[in-house]
Homo-oligomer: A and B are copies of this chain.
Amino acid sequence: MKKILLIGATGAIGQAVAKNLGARHQLVTAGRSSGDHRVDLADDASVAALLEAVGKVDAIVCAAGNVHFGPLTEMTAEQFNIGLQDKLLGQVRLALLGQHVLNDGGSITLTTGVAADDPVRGGSNAAAVNAAVEGFVLGAAIELPRGLRINAVSPTLLTESSAAYGALFPGVETVPAARVALAYVRSVEGPLTGRVFRVWQ
C-alpha cells in the first residue's frame, strides 16, 4: 500500500484515478477548491505548505491544469502565457518541490494530452504546453535520484467529455476515463520512467 498525493481529484480523470488507486492505496487529495487540502499550483508557498501538511509520500499524481483555447490569428502572448503558467509551470512546480518529499523509489505522474501530437483548431497553446510537459518528463527522468521516477499520461478526448468538447475532435475515438486511469496506475505501480503513456482509441 502506497501513500499517494492526488491533485485534481474532482475532474473526470481525477475521479477515475481516485477510484482505481484509492481501492488499494492511501489517497490524499488536493485541489484549487476541493479535496482534503487546498492548493494553488501557481504559488510556491501554497505548494510547499501542502507538501509540508501531507508529509512523505510514495507517489504524486497531478490531473490538474488549464490552457488557453482560441484562434491563433487573434492570440496574444499574454493569453499564451496562461497555459505556460497553469498547466505547464504548475505541474513542473509540483514536481520540482514534490521530488523532495518522495520516499525512495517514489514517482511523479503528470498530465499532458493528445493535442501535443494531433493539434486541434484553437489549440496551439495546448499543443505547446502538452509537448513541454512531455519534454520536461524526458529531461527530469534522467536526473531524479534515489530511484525516483517521473512519467506523463496523455489522454485523448474522454468519452465523458465528448458532449462538451467533441466538436473540437472530429472523428476522434473517445476513451472512457476509467481506461485513462489505468495509465496512471501503470506509472504509479510499474517500473517505467521518462515515459509518456498515450491513451488513444
The chain B residue sitting closest to A71, CB to CB, is B143
CA distance A92 to B125 in the complex (A): 10
Contact A73 B99 (CB under 8 A): yes
Are A132 and B138 in contact, CB atoms less than 8 angstroms apart? no
A89-B80, A93-B77 known; A124 and B99 CB under 8 Å?
no
Main secondary structure of the interface of A (DSSP, over half): helix
* Contact residues of A between 110 and 155, Cβ < 8 Å to B: 115-117, 119, 121-136, 138-145
Establish whether residues B135 and A129, one from each chain, have CB atoms under 8 Å apart when the complex forms: yes
A57 at the interface (CB under 8 A from B): no
Most buried by B among A77, A115, A130: A77
Residue in B71, B80, B135, B143 whose beta carbon sits within 8 Å of that of A116 in the complex: B135
In the assembled complex, how far is the CB of residue A49 from the closest CB belonging to chain B, in whole angstroms?
15
* Those of A65-86 within 8 Å (CB) of chain B: 71-73, 75-78, 80-81, 84
Report A132 CB to chain B, min CB distance, Å.
Answer: 4
**Docked pose: A44 CA to B76 CA in angstroms:** 9
Residues on B with C-beta less than 8 A from A121 are 142-143
Residues of B within 8 A of A81 (CB): 89
| A128:B135 contact, CB within 8 angstroms | yes
Q: What residues on B are CB-neighbors of A117 within 8 Å?
A: 138
Chain B's nearest CB lies how many Å from the CB of A43?
9
A39 within 8 A of B: no
Docked Cα-Cα span, A186 to B135, in Å, equals: 25
The answer on a CB contact under 8 Å between B142 and A88 is: no
Determine if A185 is an interface residue (Cβ-Cβ < 8 Å): no
The 4 closest A-B pairs by CB, nearest first: A131-B135, A127-B139, A132-B132, A124-B139
Can you list 7 A-B contacts with CB-CB less than 8 angstroms, sorted by A residue number? A72-B96, A116-B135, A119-B135, A121-B143, A124-B143, A127-B140, A130-B135
